[in-house]
A and B are shown apart, each in its own frame.
Chain A
Amino acid sequence: MTLHGGVRQAFERVLDPADVLSDPVKCRAYECDGLTGYRVRPDLVLLPRDASQVAAAVRVCHEHGVPFVARGAGTGLSGGALPVADGVVISLARLKRVLEVDPVNRRAVVQPGVTNLEITAAAAPHGLYYAPDPSSQQVCTIGGNVAENSGGAHCLKYGFTTNHVLSCEVVLPDGSVVTLGTDTNEQAGPDLRGVFLGSEGTLGITTSVTVRLLRTPESVRTLLADFPSVASAGDVVSDIVSAGIVPAAVEMMDTLAIEAAEEAVHAGYTVGVPAALVVELDGPVEECDAQFELVKAICEKHGCTRLHIAGSPEERAKIWKGRKAAFAAVGRISPDYFVQDGVVPRTRLAEVLDRIAGMGTDAGLRVANVFHAGDGNLHPLVLYSAAAGETERAERLSGEIAELCVEMGGSLSGEHGIGTDKACSMPKMFGEEDLATMHRVRHAFDPDGICNPGKVLPTPRLCGERPGKYKPHPLEETGAIERL
């Protein structure tokens, strides 16, 4: 079945016909997100211009039983925006206005297609910023961030998207429009905004988001420290935390990641060291200075072989550039790689990294690590060569690593989501009753099952398929975004 008959006309009645794409060539641009191994060409792509058009389009879907998938910038790494065959993609790319910046109440109201960084840009003149900072922040949209409950390097101290979104206007799968959440943390009744946050586009489409803005901290201190082992770097992280310090960010890289990053951007990292940490503190100047001294002492106590303190904003930017470039840079030392995203309790970092190294050796593959150490969010990169026939082995190793995280008391995903990619691993983390309850929640929002079906919760069809090989996202190829 295709949608080109009466249904298409129904969409053309509520949208400008030019905003209803059916040309297979044009639709191809929407066939995958950042998980490029999975591709499905949608029958139709809709480009509504405002919230009422989104609602009208969803109502048509509802009337005709047509499945729909919301799409922001398509940078998702778990196949959340993967189209459904015989369904439509609803792109929010044209809803990109900042509707309000309210410095007095420190919040902003934006349309879903506004990028993460544009919110901070709009807030900056008031000395404010939007805290969650995914590495894709230049291009990913707030709608996608809401759907994925996105994180970033600074989420250890400041929390995730869910802690910074006050309310969302949402088009439900029947086309009705509701507001979830309020202007403050207070709301009457269950926290439906909190349920919607991180639901990966399966409960509705958000058409307007009210976010909390924070005051730019008075002082920021950043250091880069080298260590003789991954374990000693891990101990530093534990000691910082048990000293009662909550850093703005703590990032770790291992030998391979350092080597790749340094080759790519020459950020001043020491090639050959087993581990490096980037630690950042922010806050009132007195507090920041006092705690920074303590962090330096902790690094030294654990045999730090080099301590480099950013002496200027430029130097700080350089340290971060190295960190943020690490993913893309791995492409320089390996023809192909898989990016994994799992979480372990922070105290088990050294153990899990050891296990991963062992699993890599057993599989005959290299694994590079660059990750958010402060909250135990790993991003192991499994390096392989498709040409050498290593794809399947690498894929298996990558999957085993995610499941190892669950075994260690952690999670299948810290920020990239479950999407299409890991839906089949959900039973490793959740029991039947847990998943059945999630199904009931979904059913309350979407009784007909037309809202991004097949994502998050395992379905037999999905679990029979295997993802294809990783290919760089088109935006990565142009250098517009980097993978973190």
Chain B
Amino acid sequence: MTTTTTLRPADLAEVRDAVRDTPGRLAVTGAGTAANWAGELDPVDAVLDVSALTGVVTHNPGDMTVSARAGTPLRALVDELAEHGQHVSLDAARIADGATLGGLVATADSGPSSLVYGTMRDLVIGVTVVLADGTVARSGGHVIKNVAGYDLAKLLHGSYGTLGVLAEIVLRLHPVPQRTATLVVDAPLAQAAELAARVLEGPYEPVALEWVSDGSGRLLVRIEGTDEALPARVQRLREVLGGGDEAAGADDPWLRHAELTRGSPEAAVLRIGARPSVLPALVSEIAADAATVGLGTGVATVSLPPHVVAEAHGRVHAAGGTSQLRYRPPGADAAAWGPPPSALPVLRALKTELDPDGRFGPGRFSPWM
């Protein structure tokens, strides 16, 4: 067995040199928090580890934009931005594990607040990326409103290190809300879905609306706002929910939510997107061991035995949804992807244009590419 070379570039020029001067197949790795996501990597000749590529390049507090190197853990960035009352509006579970900006974009990750703020794609306003032939390409910039040229950040979003190496990322920021509150209601999924519909129909403006199940089911509704206005809004929300406890400090239900999306060592984790109205039935049908269900976003994360993953992909697809593997237990044989999208030929053409020799992330999109 050969030892894999690990390259640890510390700036853009070094990334470019590493890609250009290293022959063969390359895996791009950030913090490794999503190493077992998506398709299993085929053997590679070298690993390009971007974890030394860290730090803020520019932060413009008045413009609410920041650019940082792709290996920066989002957690570290959040600490730096907090001084200015700003944050990146992304609450994916992996952030706490040290997930990097590049890894979060490459895996298209997001958390419950994507209901309002969207996923990484909605927050990234510019990228610098190194292609397989050493080309350094930039798109977007430092302003939130920008329609000059193609949006390459979107192309890298969800690419799992197969189209290029993200070296620098520009993000739009949001003010840290003065206050947030979460109401918790014990409810089985069907009832939670009804309550969620009622919340969405009214003027409550939840930023997250999730059902979590680990044995018994609970609906979590999060709102954010100003110190003055929030208590009255919580009261109104409690009325429409017909009760609900306000989550207090130590017992944060969102930590449990994050834990459930990470899954357990022996179960596979599948991330599902479908119209919110079909999602509860779909999740029930799949017979998940544990689940978090975004009743407004239409995104669910479920844990299930590896051998039923392929069948679950099929059911999701039949319901008009989309799914991807978010964790493969060691040694388990679980399909990473469901039936291919109609746009597969375009994906393949893009791969051929940008990485004609198939250097980056071999196997990640197997069997599609």
Contact = CB atoms under 8 A, between A and B. Distances in A.
Interface of A: 102, 104-107, 127, 148-149, 151, 155, 159-160, 162-163, 172, 176-180, 182-195, 197-199, 215, 217-219, 238, 241-242, 244-246, 283-287, 289-291, 343-347, 372, 375-377, 409-418, 422, 426, 429-431, 433-438, 440-445, 447, 456-457
Nearest to B349: A444
Contact of B157 (A148, A179, A191): A191
Given A189-B159, A244-B176, A436-B135, 15 more contacts: A104-B197, A159-B122, A178-B343, A178-B345, A179-B341, A183-B320, A184-B321, A189-B158, A219-B203, A245-B175, A284-B233, A287-B226, A372-B145, A375-B144, A377-B145
B310 to A, nearest CB: 14
Interface in B136-163: 136-139, 141-159, 163
A430 to B, nearest CB: 6
B323 A241 contact: no
Given A176-B345, A185-B110, A343 B155 contact: no
Interface string B110-138: 10001000110110000000010001111
A185 B114 contact: yes
Interface string B317-356: 0001111100000000000011001110111011011100
A187 B157 CA distance: 10
B139 A343 contact: no
B146 A441 contact: no
A286 B321 CA distance: 37
B121 A194 contact: yes
Q: Which 9 A-B pairs have the closest CB atoms?
A: A186-B273, A194-B154, A218-B203, A244-B175, A437-B137, A286-B229, A184-B273, A184-B298, A347-B62
Given A195-B154, A241-B62, A347-B62, A411 B298 contact: no
Query: Size band of the B side of the interface?
Result: 35 or more
Contacts of B163: 190
B155 A441 contact: yes
A81 to B, nearest CB: 15
A32 to B, nearest CB: 20
B273 A417 contact: no
16 contacts: A102-B277, A105-B277, A180-B343, A183-B322, A188-B337, A189-B158, A191-B154, A238-B62, A345-B65, A376-B145, A410-B143, A411-B143, A417-B147, A430-B138, A430-B139, A441-B350
A152 B251 CA distance: 42
A428 B299 CA distance: 41
Nearest to B338: A188
B64 interface: yes
SS of B interface (majority): loop
Contacts of A436: 135, 137
Contact of A191 (B158, B200, B201, B232): B158
A41 B261 CA distance: 57
B275 interface: yes
A450 B108 CA distance: 32
A375 B143 contact: yes
Interface in B157-188: 157-159, 163, 174-178
A79 to B, nearest CB: 14
Contacts, number: 279
A104 to B, nearest CB: 5
B205 interface: yes
Nearest to B229: A286
A286 B179 CA distance: 14
B152 A186 contact: no
B272 interface: yes
A192 B343 contact: yes
Nearest to B227: A290
Contact of A437 (B121, B152, B225, B272): B152
Contacts of B61: 242
Given A189-B159, A190-B163, A418-B149, A445 B346 contact: yes
Contacts of A409: 141-143
A255 B152 CA distance: 39
B254 interface: no
Output the residue of B114, B148, B155 with the most chain A CB within 10 A: B148
Contacts of A238: 62
Contacts of A347: 60, 62-63
Contacts of A422: 148
Given A190-B156, A284-B229, A246 B145 contact: no
Residue among B122, B147, B201, B205 with max Cβ neighbours from chain A (10 Å): B147
A25 to B, nearest CB: 34
A177 B233 contact: no
A238 B341 CA distance: 44
Nearest to B176: A244
Given A438-B149, A441-B350, A195 B155 contact: yes
B271 interface: yes
Contacts of B209: none
A163 B142 CA distance: 18
Contacts of A289: 229
Contacts of A437: 131, 135, 137, 139, 152, 354
